[in-house]
Structure 1
Amino acid sequence: MNNYELQVENFMLYCSSRNLSQKTLKSYEQSLRLFGLYLSDVFQITDVEKVKSVHIRKYIQYLRERGKYTVSRNVMANDINFPQNRTDFSKPISDSTIANYVRNIKVFFNYLYDIEKEIKQNPVSSIENIKPLRKQKTLLEEDELIKVLRQCDTTTFYGYRNWVIIRLLLDTGMRISECLSLVPEVLDFKNKSILIQNPKNNKQRYVYFSHRMSSDLKRWLLYRDRYSNSDYLFPTIRGTQLEVRNFEKTLREIGKRVNVSIHPHQLRNNFAKYYLLHGGDWATLSRILGHSSVEVTQKAYLDFADKEVGEKYQRHSPLNNLKL
């Protein structure tokens, strides 16, 4: 194990001690291992003290030029996953992905400089964060949502389960990972609320469901209890926790059948936009979504299309609502 690898290992132990989510840990390790491979192959650098800002800038340029999945930190994994068979193999890496790589590298070297004092000069001090252009989030039309829901075969356990999940995501704005980890005990039908344990920051918050969703959930619980003794609210047929990637795949396939591009996070986005379009306020929305501040929420959901702005205007126009 060389010096760079040793420092990455130490950094990962530090991150684990801070109870960061598995998703964050995986992102850090993947980014840093790939950067380490680049440093070793291109510059023969295996010591963190020898890394300079020019190496990081060269790496950013390299990321923009190379394609997706053309480099792996685990060669054996390529023989199992066959990345060359992916439809997006060798396509350009998105600015969002590159921004994430750079952000992770900066966290690592800031750790080495500020906390561990392992390096005398910080190579990331002059590296600016990459700010990718935000893609406008698509607002699904009512008829599109109806088409998707009608594709769920509610005569089957998994079809009925998926139908309820889709409606719950749209009604509450919770993350799919939060939804699939729910247990019945967190449902409060009296206050129509659900207690969420946020895996991203280990904080708790409440999301709320409608009267119609309350009926849906009560019927689902009766159905579920007849066919499963699982601890989870939305288990697999075997009673285990439904994995996010499996539900994502199922939802994409449902959408393809009716020519609707849809994924779980899009339902969270649509909840937020419909909430605002129907008169909801930013502060309440921010709390429901579990964002750290109202500013974070506004940055995420200010990208309304002209059509959406026009429709909201018609609902709130002074002349339409005042008897003048």
Structure 2
Amino acid sequence: MTAATNHARIASYLDSLETQRKLSPHTVSNYRRDLLELVAMTDALSDKPALATLSHFHVRKFAAQLHAKGLNARSIARKLSAWRGFFEWLSEQEILPANPVEGVKAPKRSKPLPKALSADDAVRVVAEGSPGRDANSPDQLCNRAMFELLYSSGLRVSELTGLDVRFVKEGNYASAGWIDFDEAEVSVTGKGGKQRKVPVGQPALQAIAAWLAVRDTLVKADPHPLFLTGRGTRVSSRIIQLRLRSHAQALGIPTHVHPHVLRHSFASHVLQSSGDLRAVQEMLGHASIAATQIYTSLDFQRLAEVYDAAHPRAKKKT
């Protein structure tokens, strides 16, 4: 009798979603699947209680069981949301002690490690020209300067697009950022309007100088942007993404390369060499050291790979 009651309540709830809330058939189907799983887990309990008598403890146990089965945090959170909505509806139909799902949270989602290129691949991407293209053409010189600077200084792509030529700093124009060749540094405005200065390596400075030598041929209405498209407009983040992806593919780099990959590579490689987390935090412009600590995981991953490959007691038996 209890099982039939549980299914009847769910059928009524799903009907209300479809007729009153006008949810799509696909959404209702997803709710049905999640709620039937709730019924199955309830029926597996020794006392086989009715849904209306489930407690906070039961739901926490169900969430733990889903997690133990390998269900990811996002899927568990979706199921809990579906269950919570059902019990909110059920409380309008009959008296419930409380919503048993209220306060039950899914496991924390694991943050995927940012992808970083190997040092060799990173150098190839920023130093080599695209095969079959004239390395001295304005667009290729612009690309080389942008890619070198992204990897040299770990800039966000929005910070790169906001850079202007140096002369505007002395005028009344409010520049978001510029290159200082004398100090070998780039000044940028990052998140929250926070300004910072980051060192620029000599290869990047040389690439920027080569670009500046031909940049005037593309300048049109706006003289300020440091990096320009073929039509003389400021480059956008999307244009840089497309150019970098195309360039990396032409070089045969197996990883999907986008501007943030070069930023990750910069941070990972500097941290591997220096071990100075605070310095990397400052150069990346992170407000919190916690945001930078992800790169310590990247560094440990590399060390673990070296260990697994080299240590005689770590090698797997074939």
- Check the 8 A contact 1:137/1:269 in 2, yes or no: yes
Q: Report runs of 4+ in structure 1 exceeding 4 Å deviation.
A: 40-46, 123-130, 305-312
Query: 3-state DSSP class of the match of 1:304?
Result: helix
For structure 2, the residue ranges without an aligned partner over 5 or more in a row are 1-15, 23-27, 36-71, 82-98, 167-177, 308-318
Give the equivalent residue in structure 2 for 1:252: 245
| Equivalent runs, 1:122-271 vs 2, <5 Å | 126-128=104-106, 130-135=108-113, 137-142=115-120, 145-146=123-124, 149-152=127-130, 153=133, 154-185=135-166, 186-198=178-190, 200-229=191-220, 230-260=223-253, 261=255, 262-271=257-266
What is the DSSP-based 3-state SS (H/G/I as helix, E as strand, rest coil) of the residue aligned with 2:298?
coil
The aligned length equals: 210
The verdict on how the C-alpha distance between 1:146 and 1:139 changes in structure 2, with shifts beyond 3 A counting, is closer
For 2:287 and 2:248, the matched residues in 1 are separated by 32
Q: TM-score, normalised by structure 2?
A: 0.55
Instruction: Return the letter of the residue paired with 1:188.
Output: D
In structure 1, list runs of 5 or more residues that go unmatched: 1-39, 47-54, 63-94, 106-120, 313-324
- The alpha-carbon distance between structure 1 residues 301 and 232, as it changes in their structure 2 partners (threshold 3 A), is farther
2: CA distance, partners of 1:155 / 1:124? 63
* CA offsets 1:162-194 (integer angstroms, 9 cap, x no match): 111111111000011210121113222222222
Change (3 A) 1:129 1:169: farther
Deviation at residue 218 of structure 1 after TM alignment: 2.5
Aligned mates of 2:211, 2:137 — CA distance in 1:
12
Which of 1 and 2 has greater Rg?
Answer: 2
How far does residue 250 in structure 1 lie from its aligned partner after superposition?
2.1
Letter in 2 for 1:213: A
Does residue 293 in structure 1 map to residue 288 in structure 2? yes
Question: Which residue number in structure 1 is paired with residue 90 of structure 2?
Answer: none
Structure 2 CA distance for aligned equivalents of residues 172 and 124 of structure 1: 46
Asked if 1 retains the 8 angstrom alpha-carbon contact of 2:152 and 2:204, the reply is: yes
- Cα distance, 1:58 vs structure 2: 6.0
Aligned pairs for 1:35-46 (under 5 A) are 44-45=20-21
Task: Give the secondary structure class of the aligned counterpart of 2:193.
Answer: coil
